[in-house]
Amino acid sequence: MARFPFSAIVGQDEMKQALLIAAVDPAIGGVMVFGDRGTGKSTAARALAGLLPPISAIQDCPYGCSKDDQARYPDVCGTGPLRKRPVPFVDLPLGATEDRVLGALDLERALRSGEKAFEPGLLAKAHRGFLYIDEINLLEDHLVDLLLDVAASGENVVEREGLSVRHPAKFVLIGSGNPEEGELRPQLLDRFGLSVEVRTPGDIESRVEIMRRCAAQEADSQLFADNWADEDAKVLRRVDRGRKRLASVTIPDAVLHKAAELCMAVGADGLRGELTLMRAAKALAALEGAKTVGQAHLVAVAPSALRHRLRRDVLDETGSTARIERALDEVFA
Amino acid sequence: MSRAEPAPPDPARDACLALSLFLTAPAQLGGLSLRGSGPAREALLEMLRDTGVAVRRMPAHVDDERLLGGVDLAVSLASGRTVRARGLLEEIAGGVLVVPLAERLDHAIAGRLAQALDSDARFGLVLLDDGIENEGPPAALLERIAFFHLRCDLGGGLFQAPRPGAHKGFNLLG
């Protein structure tokens, strides 16, 4: 069955924008999606991975290493020629064992030939792609620790069962969850560059349109995908152009000032708020083909870059999105 | 990163100084603990690697066999005699062991590291502490290392009021 096209997702603009920004600049550090079940969270992430151009990786390398990786990790990947392969999209199930996530001793080879070999895990598979964790707030603590370490260092170090292996593991982390079902450790939340809130669409028109599109997709997924191919190609061109332009996009000092003012106004923890705000605004400008970052870009990304970094204020029970909107009004008055 | 900018507030320089001192005799000084993740700590780790000292990262899920060494079963069975495999602590002799997420470190592993530091230690520890509020690395390790509570996060006091230009990173060496 052909995947659901990214451009055919109705509404959810903030989520789509955040995912595209992460695709343009993976260094932003992933997207956390809060919200209701069945709002297209995993569909959107999956669709984006399917839409992106294939990566070129060493043939048969279990880690999907690039040429640069090969130079840094000469022991783990082969010397084969470069081949195209689709952008990886890996689902991390909540019940995954550490062995499955990290990789472990290849028992079959150990028993058959007495050879100590490493069988790569999900982290290896996700290298240069997306690692998707549904209900991330229910993930067990020891898996959270392990993810935090790998996400921060960009490599997976395995020292167990007599194995000593180090391989690259850089991925865009996509988490989804419902904050009411359990809190996310602040350190994990902090790893996500952007966070978005998705809601079930509130108007009849959108809901009807969603039903229409889903019915069409279920009837003939290939035809549906073909019908949306042009729209998807447009999105792909934007991402491609964005990636090429990203390095040359400039940010005027005035915009940096506004970013800092905004972060102070909302009381964001630390400086990571500004840094993400700046990067995300830059990626958005690149996506839109602008040469410089304008205030509009800043305003557009502010809620997703800052929402999860607000200090809790016991006297102010207003939701974080509302607090950011208020601050935006003040700063850009 | 402009050299003309005034030196940043002190925590970053303290951390730099501590790192340089630590590197003069890693095993004797035990180690240092760097609190708060972010570009500043990455820069310090980069400095550490650039000095050429052997650096290994110890993942939190290390097992005893890999940490302390044990019998290499495959080789022992093949050769018909007991062959010992070296553990991480032996392999890192003369170098530095980096411990990420030190605030979450299992107490059993912390105990083994502490014991190793007490008996003729030949390595230094760099604890990466991502704790918030009261979280922190195990006391058993903190009391055995020379430099601790070095703040190198970007928030919480390192920069009270961000200055323009602070976004571009700051000059660690002042």
Q: Are A193 and A30 contacting, i.e. CB atoms less than 8 angstroms apart?
A: yes
- Selecting from A98, A159, A270 the residue whose C-beta is nearest the C-beta of B88 gives A159
Q: What pLDDT does residue B174 have?
A: 31
**A24-33, A182-191, A198-207: which has the minimum mean pLDDT?**
A182-191
Residue B159 has pLDDT above 50, yes or no: no
List pLDDT tens digits, range A220-243.
999 999 999 999 999 999 999 999
Chain B hits for A148, CB-CB cut-off 8 Å, are 101, 130
Q: Which residue's structure tokens are 């993740």?
A: B37
Chain B hits for A152, CB-CB cut-off 8 Å, are 37, 100
Model confidence at B155, pLDDT cuts 50, 70, 90, reads: very low
Average per-residue pLDDT for chain B: 80
User: ipTM exceeding 0.85?
Assistant: no
Q: What pLDDT does residue A157 have?
A: 94
A274 and B162 within 8 Å at the Cβ level: the answer is yes
Q: What pLDDT does residue B157 have?
A: 36
Strands (E), A93-227: 103-105, 118-120, 130-133, 155-160, 163-168, 172-177, 194-198
**What mean pLDDT is predicted for residues A42-46?**
88
- Higher-confidence position of A169 and B165: A169
Mutate to test the interface with A, among B42, B56, B61 (most CBs of A within 10 A): B61
B167 and A274 within 8 Å at the Cβ level: the answer is yes
Q: Are A5 and A229 contacting, i.e. CB atoms less than 8 angstroms apart?
A: yes
Residue A319 CA to residue A314 CA, distance in Å, equals: 12
Q: Residues near A103 by Cβ (< 8 Å), separated by ≥ 6? A: A118, A119, A120, A121, A123, A124, A156, A158, A165
Residue B87 CA to residue A159 CA, distance in Å, equals: 9
Mutate to test the interface with A, among B49, B71, B126, B130 (most CBs of A within 10 A): B130
* pLDDT more than 70, % of chain A: 98
Q: For residue A60, report the phi and psi dihedrals to the nearest 5 degrees.
A: 65, 5
Q: Is A241 a catalytic residue?
A: no
Q: Residues near B121 by Cβ (< 8 Å), separated by ≥ 6? A: B27, B30
Residues of B with CB under 8 A from a CB of A: 37-38, 57-63, 65-67, 70, 72-74, 77-78, 85, 88, 100-101, 104, 130, 132, 153-156, 159, 161-162, 164, 166-167
Chain A hits for B66, CB-CB cut-off 8 Å, are 159-164
**What mean pLDDT is predicted for residues B117-138?**
88
Model confidence at A254, pLDDT cuts 50, 70, 90, reads: very high
DSSP A162: T
* pLDDT more than 90, % of chain A: 51
Average per-residue pLDDT for chain A: 89
Q: What pLDDT does residue B74 have?
A: 78
Is this model's pTM higher than 0.90 or not?
A: no
Number of residues written out for chain A? 333
Residues of A with CB under 8 A from a CB of B: 98, 102, 110, 114-116, 142, 145-146, 148-149, 152-153, 157-164, 166, 186-187, 253, 256-257, 259-260, 263-264, 269-272, 274-275, 278
Residue A322 CA to residue A190 CA, distance in Å, equals: 20
B74 and A115 within 8 Å at the Cβ level: the answer is yes
Residue B162 has pLDDT above 50, yes or no: no
Q: What pLDDT does residue B138 have?
A: 93
DSSP reduced 3-state for A317: coil
A271 and B166 within 8 Å at the Cβ level: the answer is yes
B164 and A256 within 8 Å at the Cβ level: the answer is yes
Amino acid at A177: G
